[in-house]
Amino acid sequence: MATFKELQDQIAKLKQDAEEVRSKEIGSAIAQIKSLMNDYDITVQDIESSGRRKGSKAVSLSNVQFKDESGNTWSGRGRMPAWLKGKDKEKFRVS
């Protein structure tokens, strides 16, 4: 059975490997997206506007009170989200 340190080293190595693979694959993914956008004459504005549908429960950015670097948001109402628990929420307050 592996020790805790050995497992931590394996995790670090796997994270590094995953980031390297992601970096290699992201270029072809972007090229594929651009090709499809060109084929169907799609603009970035088309993509941004198509995500907003009538009756959507998406949180309006004007209601966002807290936001982290990963894009997680919270309006400050209701139960505190897991990404914010145990942290100083004022560090994540949106100005």
Each residue's pLDDT tens digit, 38-73: 999 999 888 887 655 555 555 555 689 999 988 899
What radius of gyration, in Å, describes the C-alpha atoms of the chain? 20
Q: State whether CATH 4.10.430.10 applies to domain 59-95.
A: yes
* CB 84, CB 92: distance < 8 Å: yes
The pLDDT value given to residue 89? 87
* CB 79, CB 94: distance < 8 Å: no
Of all residues in the chain, the percent with pLDDT exceeding 90 is 56
* pTM across the whole model: 0.41
* CB 68, CB 93: distance < 8 Å: no
